[in-house]
Amino acid sequence: MPEMTVEELQADSDDVEIKGTIKKLPTPRAVSTQYGQKRITTVVFEDDTGEIDLTLWEEEIDAIEEGADVVIEGGYVREWADDLQLNIGRDGNIEQA
């Protein structure tokens, strides 16, 4: 699948491969899930065409730092509270470029 840009993302985009920068990396918060307590944070992911909220969990949070250029593979987009949100699928990956 060809690489996408933020402005091309839509609410049902699946198998997204995208490159960009982590603009803001807030302190993670703890949430209770069916798998127990997990850390989650919503960062601002940005490329030349715009920005989108990116949800990160557990080790994904540890894999990046604020201001880092990253590559996401296996991402998907969903609408949440009228905003688009980029997520990383179970088989997906985020790494610093």
Q: CB atoms < 10 A from the CB of 73, how many?
A: 17
pLDDT at residue 2, rounded to an integer: 74
Residue 29, domain extent: 6-89
1 falls within a domain: no
pLDDT at residue 36, rounded to an integer: 96
What is the value of pTM for the model shown? Answer: 0.91
CATH (domain of 27): 2.40.50.140
Could you say which residues of the chain have pLDDT below 70? 1
H/E stretch holding 84: strand 83-96
94 falls within a domain: no
**Residue 80 in tokens:** 């949440």
pLDDT at residue 57, rounded to an integer: 96
**Residue 58 in tokens:** 């557990």
